[in-house]
Amino acid sequence: MLIPSVFQRVLTVAVAGVFVLLPGSAMAQGQPASQSSGQQQPAGQPTSQPQQTQDPSQWPSQWPQPTPPPPPPQTTPTPQATSQPPQKTAADQPVQQKDTVTPKNSKEDVDAIGNRGIGKGVNFYSLEREIALGKSLAQEVERSSKLIDDPVVVEYVNRVGQNLVRNSDARVPFTIKVIDSDVVNAFALPGGFFYVNSGLILRAQEESELAGVMAHEISHVTARHGTKQATKGELMQLATIPLILLGPGGWAGYGIYEASQLAIPFSYLKFSRDAEREADYLGLQYMYKAGYDPNAYVTFFERIQADEKRQPGTIPKIFSTHPPTPERIANTQKEIARILPAKQEYIVTTSEFDTVKARLRNIVFSRKVQAAPGKPTLRTKTEQAGKQGQGTDPNANPDDDRPTLKRRPDTTP
């Protein structure tokens, strides 16, 4: 009969529609939107077998058309919590270095360190005279400063410095000592007499930062900036001698002028900006040659710059002749990318640096506590009585502070 036949077909279409709707609902609830739209799944992912349904376009028009499944809701994937550290910004990323570089001259060739003509130029001082000058200046420094004499701290700082010296263009031996000072500074005198303030060690966060500052000061000695500066001063003095002799004082005026030059000036530590730029340039090479990460040179400058912005006046006055810190940072980044070939590994810091830093912090803290004004002191009874001049038995031993025992008087009848 016609009616049952039509009824069977309608029933078949309804059942097929249910099978079509069921996969769509599951997809909307558990599948991503990209897969529900008919895109091909990536290889290796389990795929569901498609339902074998008849093409609705081939159905007769009098058949009821199945309702299409609703589109899956658009959802934003929730970020999963991971243990990875946050991504660094572009400013925090280390400078990209080339695998190979082509130096234009020996001064750019880090492989030629130790065999270069660093320090050449007009200089009235021989190396022997320069060492003698530095020794006299070092005596003045140690006479007016307090040195850290802890053997662990001194040996560590000396070892770090001597490693940098071995990887430099130094032509004189170095003597490295630590000064007990909170000022973030280090300085090297002509002839290799090198001093590191305790404040610099405590301010550095990694050994590579300490090595960078020390390499900068070592560069002043290798380039002979101190004696070159003194030579320029002597040339200027020689140029003014004819004017003094022609003046009203004559030879007497010249004698007064010579007497005023007897004191050893500390102008050997105040270099021109060009000399500071060269020390940055060479120091960067020396710390790289010694195996340290050259980017630590930049990070320390950035920290000093932040300290100066937060609290003006934190940079020592001796740094007044240094180039501005932003300029030094920019120049250092350019040189890292231009002349230093990339290495697989760098020394950033060591556990020994942390140990020595903690030890030095305790030493400095103990010194400050002992030097604190108004600190209460404990004195023995004998000392107090001796200062007051009373309260002691003349027959008793003044040095005997031992307690005495007495019998309690018997009060019973």
Q: Which residues pair with 196 in a beta bridge?
A: 178, 186
| Structure confidence at residue 17 as a pLDDT band (50, 70, 90) | very low
Angle (CA) 48-54-58 rounded to 5° is 145
The string of pLDDT tens digits covering residues 281-325 is 999 999 999 999 999 988 888 887 787 778 776 665 545 556 667
Task: Tell whether the model's pLDDT for residue 237 goes beyond 50.
Answer: yes
Q: Which residue has the higher pLDDT, 186 or 38?
A: 186
What phi and psi values does residue 155 have, to the nearest 5 degrees? -65, -40
Beta strand 175-179 with 193-197 is parallel
Residue 405 within a domain: no
Q: Is 336 within a domain?
A: yes
Per DSSP, the residues of 311-346 read: STT-S-GGGGGSPPHHHHHHHHHHHHHHH----S--
Q: Is residue 59 part of a domain?
A: no
| Residue 382 is assigned to a structural domain of this protein | no
Please tell me the distance from the alpha carbon of residue 59 to that of residue 62, in angstroms, as a whole number.
Answer: 8
Residue 208: predicted pLDDT: 96
Confidence of residue 168 (pLDDT cuts 50, 70, 90): very high
* Total tally of structural domains belonging to the chain: 1
Q: What mean pLDDT, rounded, does the chain reach? A: 73
Give the pLDDT mean for 116-127.
90
Q: Is 82 part of any domain? A: no
Question: Residue 185 pLDDT > 60, yes or no?
Answer: yes
Percent of the chain with pLDDT over 70: 56
354 as an active site residue: the answer is no
Cβ contacts of residue 286 below 8 Å, gap of 6+?
Answer: 113, 164, 167, 168, 215, 218, 219
Is the alpha carbon torsion for 19, 20, 23, 26 positive or negative?
negative
Q: Catalytic residue among 130, 280, 293, 335, which? A: 280
Q: Which one of the listed residues 130, 206, 207, 217 is annotated catalytic?
A: 217
- Asked if residue 11 belongs to a domain, the reply is no
Q: Considering the domain boundaries, does residue 139 fall inside one? A: yes
280 is catalytic: yes
Range of the domain at 323: 106-370
Alpha helices (H) in 247-324, listed in sequence order:
250-260, 273-289, 295-310
Does residue 268 sit within a domain? yes
Chain centre to alpha carbon of residue 324: 18
